[in-house]
Amino acid sequence: MLHTLPFDISSLHAAYAQGLDPAAVMEEAHRRIGAAGDPGIFLHVLEPAALQAQLAQLGAFDPDSKPLWGIPFAIKDNIDAAGEPTTAGCPAYAYEAGADAFVVGVLRAAGAILIGKTNLDQFATGLVGVRTPFPVPLNALDPAIVPGGSSSGSAVAVAHGIVSFSLGTDTAGSGRVPAALNGIVGLKPTLGALSATGVVPACRTLDTISIFALTVGDAYKVFAAAAVFDPADSYARPLVLAESPVAAPTFRVGVPDTASRRFFGDAVQAASFDATLESLRERGAEIVELDFGPLYAIAEMLYDGVWVAERYTVIEALLREQPEAVLPVTRAIIQRAEKFSAADAFRGFYRLQDLRREALAVADAVDLLCVPSIPTFCTVAELEADPVGPNSRLGTYTNFVNLLDMCAIAVPVRTRADGRPGSVTLIAGRGEDARIAAVAAVLQQDCAAPLGATGWPLPQAADVLPVANRDEIALAVVG
């Protein structure tokens, strides 16, 4: 029954091994777009000819040489696909891409099939997903709450099971907040691991492509395929995975101490976080309470500080020539850059450097950090009343990560007592991507978290080992 076939990679590959035609899977993906009944998810769906051209390149089913053979995916509309429009959520900015973004090309070469381009907070500026001139995508689990952004459409498409995975981008949390709000996985790689060639920048020094999937295993599989060094991207860095072992059977997980937990009155979220830490303890984690003050101080620098000038460099001409083409809320944020001088920029870097020392001293005391992915939820109605405050709150636990050159993964955990999705984010230093993915995979299994809005069962991950040491778990998840 194709209509009910789960689109996680294992299920699809099992079906392909049995002879399923990938063209039928693409048709089913289109059917699911219609079934979702939400015109806000996709800004552009590829024409049949463009789909057919990709299928023609596949060759015989061969998941060894093409680990993503026949896997449908979508990309945020600030990422280029050859011959397709890129809007970055702003029609006045739109252009037809001459070539695939580097990562899109790599994924297609690995057998993945692009089916469309997804909605976003304009210019990837926002964490809510409603700052778009197009129809607003609806949260896949509860239309009353915001879908999260800026990678809204990409997250919702995965949560509905329309595609197996999708690409977002993440500067302040755009690849993690929408994952939490839609009950899926959001993998935010180490900066520079995924090429930025062919991506409309937000803050070029802090951006990365991110990956949404239903399971940690799928997200990591896509990441491993995509992490190819691109010499043409000046900010690309070869990914060197960390090797230092964690002593089995315990590992140290740093969490905000009582004084630095922020839930804005959401006691259900607080209880959900505590329950998740208990699950980690049962797997051998030693929970270490830390003062997150230095991390929050860094987080506040991102939107209040000089980095907004990076966004300004992207649309300076547009702001001057057609300011009305930019959404008022987005324009107000980005035009703040005009008040900052180059001297202010350097003062910001000095302050960041000082705060980094403090924050890394905190983080170095543990093997990884675990935080709530979001402090609380935000309804569409709340956001209409105040378009900025709730947006800022959503970034509480995400804003500091890229400024600290850390990697992160948002993972679904037990559904909260009120039925809303649970999510925590694991965070570690540059290059520790495999290690936090391994812990996240265990956590997803242990919590038997639902897979977005699909109702599909969590695949039994034969390749997830108990957390033992960094090398072993890295291998386990990569495999």
Q: C-beta of 406: minimal distance to a copy of itself in Å?
A: 17
Q: Does 243 bind a copy of itself (CB under 8 A)?
A: no
The partner residues of 166 in beta bridges, in order of sequence, read: 74, 212
Select from 104-112, 176-184, 340-348, 437-445 the region that touches a copy of itself (CB under 8 A): 340-348
Binds a copy of itself by CB under 8 A, chosen from 353, 384, 385, 419: 353
Annotated catalytic residue 174: yes
Binds a copy of itself by CB under 8 A, chosen from 57, 289, 346, 466: 346
The partner residues of 312 in beta bridges, in order of sequence, read: none
CA distance 68 to 10: 10
Where in 373-413 does DSSP place strands (E)? Answer: 406-413
| Rounded (10°) CA dihedral 220, 226, 232, 235 | -10
Angle at Cα 164 formed by Cα 158 and Cα 170, nearest 5°? 55
Helix (H, G, I), strand (E, B) or coil at 7: coil
CA distance 363 to 356: 10
* Interface positions, 190-229, toward a copy of itself (CB under 8 A): 204-205
* Interface positions, 282-321, toward a copy of itself (CB under 8 A): 306, 309-310, 312-313, 316
Annotated catalytic residue 150: yes
Bond before 249 cis per omega within 30 degrees: yes
Q: Which is nearer to a copy of itself, 274 or 364 (CB)?
A: 364
Q: Does 244 bind a copy of itself (CB under 8 A)?
A: no
Write down the residue that tokens 């049949």 correspond to. 48
> Which helix (H) or strand (E) segment is 345 a member of?
helix 342-363
The partner residues of 405 in beta bridges, in order of sequence, read: none
Q: Which is nearer to a copy of itself, 317 or 381 (CB)?
A: 317
CA distance 269 to 274: 9
Q: C-beta of 334: minimal distance to a copy of itself in Å?
A: 10
Task: Check residue 199 and report its DSSP letter.
Answer: B
Q: C-beta of 415: minimal distance to a copy of itself in Å?
A: 42
Select from 149-157, 183-191, 339-347, 458-466 the region that touches a copy of itself (CB under 8 A): 339-347
Q: Which is nearer to a copy of itself, 281 or 357 (CB)?
A: 357
Give the active site residue among 154, 164, 166, 174.
174
Select from 67-75, 246-254, 343-351, 373-381 the region that touches a copy of itself (CB under 8 A): 343-351
CA distance 185 to 155: 9
Q: Which two tokens stand for residue 373?
A: 């992915």
Binds a copy of itself by CB under 8 A, chosen from 238, 274, 357, 466: 357
Select from 53-61, 338-346, 369-377, 387-395 the region that touches a copy of itself (CB under 8 A): 338-346
Give the active site residue among 66, 76, 117, 188.
76
Q: What are the φ/ψ torsions at residue 214 (nearest 5 degrees)? A: -80, -30
Bond before 150 cis per omega within 30 degrees: yes
Which residues contribute to the site for a copy of itself (CB under 8 A)?
204-205, 231, 234-235, 306, 309-310, 312-313, 316, 337-338, 340-350, 353-354, 356-357
- Residues noted as catalytic: 76, 150, 174
